[in-house]
Amino acid sequence: MNLEAQYNQYLINGKPSAGLSVNDRGLAYGDGVFRTFLVNNGVPHHWELQYQKLSQDCQALGISCPNNDVLTSDIKTLFNDGSDAVAKIIVTRGESSRGYAVPDDIQTSRFVIKSALPIYPLNNQTQGVKLHLCELKLGLQPKFAGVKHLNRLENVLARMEWKDASIADGLLLDSNDNVIECTMSNIFARYGNELITPSLEECGVAGIARARIIENTKRFNLDIKIEALKLNKLMQADEIIICNSLFGAWQVVSFNGKHWAKQVLDAQLRKMLMN
Amino acid sequence: MNLEAQYNQYLINGKPSAGLSVNDRGLAYGDGVFRTFLVNNGVPHHWELQYQKLSQDCQALGISCPNNDVLTSDIKTLFNDGSDAVAKIIVTRGESSRGYAVPDDIQTSRFVIKSALPIYPLNNQTQGVKLHLCELKLGLQPKFAGVKHLNRLENVLARMEWKDASIADGLLLDSNDNVIECTMSNIFARYGNELITPSLEECGVAGIARARIIENTKRFNLDIKIEALKLNKLMQADEIIICNSLFGAWQVVSFNGKHWAKQVLDAQLRKMLMN
């Protein structure tokens, strides 16, 4: 398959050749939300969870979420070749004239974009990954913490901090020096049979893979705690795992000057997440 | 002139009919900056200052800024009817495939949009304005504080806090309860012959009107201080002024349960800013 051609496939408000308006508030203000997930053989992975999160995120920003049927139909149209690919859905508040005020009659815009599966080194699964400790610290914004919104300059600038291709992701602290997440993944730390993931009440993105791990810890004989986590406590973890909806789960084996032996929890979680 | 037609005029990378790519990082991440300013009789207001700030803001985010000549030519093309209008320039990091990482060969995108002059009540000049105290508090992000970037969800949500058309703007505190700015303007407080404007080292947008007032206080026999400003100190001001490049300056006469008599500094500053 021609990846370049695949990469360029998209629907804007259901149409394959529509243009994106320069007046869209997604461009003007990052006034919208998004989801990124796998599509296997034309079928979106855990669509109900993805739609539920999209809908919650829209609600958090006061954006009218497109109906499930509408998005399901867009996905069906775009992935009708039965391909394995990545779907990205962007929902913005819509178009408006200049200025922050939102017109009463604004209509949501939706963008569904198909792109090639990412190619990750197999080593990430078999040997674990290395993390960079980001210098940039996440600002606190409880009004939309947890939401996967389009204001992602912090992630972009954090990602610009390293060029070393052997680094899988960068760990982000918040401005109070709490561990929050990585630029493209959530994080878990294991201490014996206790799994801790940072509270995301003040910043960060609460991803679907994180939610699924939280809901399924019992099956791995682990207890889960969602709470503030400091860097020095993270460094004492028996095991650190990062996760997202595209790669599943990877163990962190090198971070901030410390090394961990490769263990098996990441493979167990990955198997659960990818099913 | 047909305002609707005027509103829709734009150039994308210099072309009037180009489409905006769904892969533009301006949409995906708010990965860009913008400027908004008046064009009088086809001539952009204080263009050198606007370009200087655009260039500084691009540099702060590691974005390659279009040349002055290129943007000047875009403006000349778009405003060649000699109209009085508003120009908005958006510069994004450009297009890339999915993911935060920035390709080495990325090319900046530029958008120049012409829209109608805003219509403000004349009362705002003659009688002063009313401010809302926003519940949303600005997060701290020293890495791009002061920059007019495209991550403006805080402004959007703050602006959604009021519907009352008699309110001109909303005052924003940061998460440490410092007074920072309003949703679309900067703020000054006068105490005798001392003018204070909040430091924007940790959040907020450092606008051109603010910079010009800071540089010109001597001509109004005022001393300027740029420092942290708490709400209780703001409430004790002899006079509060808000400013931006479109309306110039307005005096705040009603805010947070207190009223101030209308004075003359706003008119003096406005005259200076609009020249």
Catalytic one of A36, A92, A183, A197? A36
The answer to whether residues A142 and A262 belong to one domain is: yes
The answer to whether residues A127 and A42 belong to one domain is: no
pLDDT digits (tens, 9 = 90+) for B124-161: 999 999 999 999 999 999 999 999 999 999 999 999 99
The answer to whether residues B82 and B158 belong to one domain is: no
The answer to whether residues A88 and A12 belong to one domain is: yes
pLDDT number for residue B65? 98
- Residue B260: strand, helix, or coil: coil
CA distance B199 to chain A (A): 17
The answer to whether residues B160 and B205 belong to one domain is: yes
The answer to whether residues A55 and A136 belong to one domain is: no
The β-bridge partners of A262 are: none
Q: Mark which residues 254-273 of B lie under 8 Å from A by CB.
A: none
When pLDDT is averaged across residues B38-58 and rounded to a whole number, the result is 97
Mutual angle of helices B68-78 and B47-61, in 10-degree steps:
130
* DSSP string for residues in chain A: --HHHHHT-EEETTBTTPPBPTTBHHHHH--EEEEEEEEETTEETTHHHHHHHHHHHHHHHTPPPPPHHHHHHHHHHHTTT---EEEEEEEE--B-SSSSPPPTT---EEEEEEEPPP---THHHHT-EEEEEEEEEEPP-TTTTB--BS--HHHHHHHTT---TTEEEEEEEETT-BEEEESS-EEEEEETTEEEEE--SSSSB--HHHHHHHHTGGGGT-EEEEE--BHHHHHT-SEEEEEETTTEEEEEEEETTEE----SHHHHHHHHHH-
Is 80 exceeded by the pLDDT of residue A3? no
Name the domain boundary from B115, B148, B183: B115
Q: What is the chain A residue with the closest CA to B3?
A: A97
When pLDDT is averaged across residues B163-191 and rounded to a whole number, the result is 98
Contact A242, A255 (CB under 8 A): no
State the total domains in chain B. Answer: 2
Name the domain boundary from B92, B115, B138: B115
Q: Which of A209-218, B7-16, B76-85 has the lowest mean pLDDT?
A: B7-16
Is 60 exceeded by the pLDDT of residue A2? no
Q: What is the CATH number of the domain that holds B183?
A: 3.20.10.10
Partner A contacted by B165 (CB < 8 A): no
Q: Mark which residues 185-214 of B lie under 8 Å from A by CB.
A: 203
The answer to whether residues B67 and B160 belong to one domain is: no
What whole-number distance in Å separates Cα of residue B275 and Cα of residue B270? Answer: 8
Q: Whole-structure pTM over 0.80, yes or no?
A: yes
The interface predicted TM-score of the complex, written ipTM, equals 0.95
The answer to whether residues A86 and A148 belong to one domain is: no
How much of chain A exceeds pLDDT 70, in percent? 97
Is 70 exceeded by the pLDDT of residue B228? yes
When pLDDT is cut at 50, 70 and 90, the band that residue A20 belongs to is confident
Partner B contacted by A163 (CB < 8 A): no
Q: Which residues of B are catalytic?
A: 36, 148, 181
Compute the 3-state secondary structure of chain B and give helix, strand, coil in percent, each to the nearest 5. Answer: 25, 35, 40
Partner A contacted by B23 (CB < 8 A): yes
The answer to whether residues B111 and B140 belong to one domain is: no
Partner A contacted by B28 (CB < 8 A): yes
When pLDDT is averaged across residues B251-275 and rounded to a whole number, the result is 97
Say how far residue B199 (Cα) sits from the centre of its chain. Answer: 16
Q: Which residues of A touch B118 (CB under 8 A)?
A: 98-99
Partner A contacted by B1 (CB < 8 A): no
Partner B contacted by A111 (CB < 8 A): yes
The answer to whether residues A141 and A171 belong to one domain is: yes
Determine whether the interchain pair B153/A29 forms a contact, defined as Cβ–Cβ distance below 8 Å: yes
Catalytic one of A92, A95, A114, A181? A181
Name the domain boundary from B115, B137, B163: B115
Catalytic one of A114, A148, A197, A239? A148
Q: What is the CATH number of the domain that holds A60?
A: 3.30.470.10
Q: Give the residue numbers spanning the domain of A36.
A: 3-115
The answer to whether residues B270 and B143 belong to one domain is: yes
Nearest CB to B151 within list A10, A93, A151: A151
Q: What is the chain B residue with the closest CA to A246?
A: B99
The answer to whether residues B144 and B100 belong to one domain is: no
Say how far residue B218 (Cα) sits from the centre of its chain. Answer: 24
- Residue B236: strand, helix, or coil: coil
When pLDDT is cut at 50, 70 and 90, the band that residue B17 belongs to is confident
